[in-house]
Structure 1
Amino acid sequence: MTMDIRLARVDSRLLHGQVATFWTRFVQPNRIMVVSDSVAKDNLRKTLITQVAPPGVKANVVSVNKMIRAYFDSRFDSFNTLLLTENVGDMLRLAEGGVDFSQVGINIGSIAYTEGMTMITDAVAMDDHTAKQVAALVNDFHLDVTAQKIPADKKIDLLSLIKKKNFNLE
């Protein structure tokens, strides 16, 4: 048996109001796992994240490798997890490490715009590198990767959108 992942979400803002209210109510986790090598090393960010968890839900901040180990550790089988990463690359590393997202797919909530990126939805920015990572999650791991800000929003197939925007997937 392994940890029950109820939502796997990429959100550059990590744990914030939409996640703490809408998504937590929707998936009813008993644990929020924020998976980020950089945040795991930053005590201030780690403290802030663990403090904004909604009542009754404990939040942890761990590195990618620690999350992979925890996923396969029977001591964490009781976790009903809402899993958050800041970027698609960390989610891909988790999949490569054997974390099974086949039951939930990957939800892309927000990817912040930086220089050289293209906005493909009102909340998701993409460049060729990130588009290739999305394609790997879909093609190599056979996962549904969708953009969706809150549960009430319609899911948008991200790879179809990427292909329409002519990103270089080679």
Structure 2
Amino acid sequence: MKINFSRIDDRLIHGQVATVWSKKANAKRIIVCSDEVANDDVRKMLLKQAAPPGIKVNVCSIEKAVKVYFNPVYENETVFYLFTNPTDVLRMVKQNVPIQSLNIGGMAFRNGRKQITKAVSVGKEDVDAFKALNQLGVKLDLRVVDSDSPVDMMKKIENIALT
């Protein structure tokens, strides 16, 4: 399997992803990697309906996404991985899925999170996962839209105080 693009966007497939990022990814398949979404039949159905023309969409638990990556049946498949959070990305990387670059595009504000850009808010668990991904050599590219200038995620999170 060839990973053409990986992105965190907790809205998953929406206008920007369907029209811009999927073209940039140039992949035949979008795989939404999330235990939570994989267990939600309504969300799975809606995501499949939101697929850009000509692109297949699958929603998998992290465990299944790892198995699919290593399944020789899919060795010639090109994929665009979509995640809702960095912890799930880290889980896959720790199981030897070679995600080399990660675009961070949208993580909504919630209690316990600190807003670091208009579209990205992080909590302690997120910061810890980003730091671990960085240590594992994953390039962290913070951009909401493709035309934005890339921002170094580590610089954005290095001095934030979270409890």
TM band (smaller chain): over 0.9
Root-mean-square deviation (CA, aligned residues, Å) is 1.2
Alignment-mate amino acid for residue 155 of structure 2 = S
User: Mind listing any 5+ residue stretches in structure 2 that lack a counterpart?
Assistant: none
Number of positions where the alignment pairs a residue of Structure 1 with one of Structure 2: 163
1:143 and 2:141 are equivalent in the alignment: no
Do the aligned residues in 1 keep the contact of 2:87 with 2:125 (CA within 8 Å)? no
Q: What is the alpha-carbon distance in structure 2 between the residues aligned to residue 167 and residue 61 of structure 1?
A: 31
**Could you tell me how far 1:165 is from its partner in structure 2?**
2.8
Q: Deviation above 4 Å: which 4+ runs of structure 1?
A: none
TM-score normalized with structure 2 length = 0.95
**Could you tell me how far 1:161 is from its partner in structure 2?**
1.1
- Match for residue 153 of structure 2? 158
User: Mind listing any 5+ residue stretches in structure 1 that lack a counterpart?
Assistant: none
1:27 and 2:11 are equivalent in the alignment: no
TM-score normalized with structure 1 length = 0.92
Matches within 5 A, 1:41-120: 41-102=39-100, 105-120=101-116
Q: 1:11 aligns with which of 9, 12, 15?
A: 9
1:125 and 2:135 are equivalent in the alignment: no
**Could you tell me how far 1:117 is from its partner in structure 2?**
1.0
Alignment-mate amino acid for residue 67 of structure 2 = R
Q: What is the alpha-carbon distance in structure 1 between the residues aligned to residue 22 and residue 84 of structure 2?
A: 17
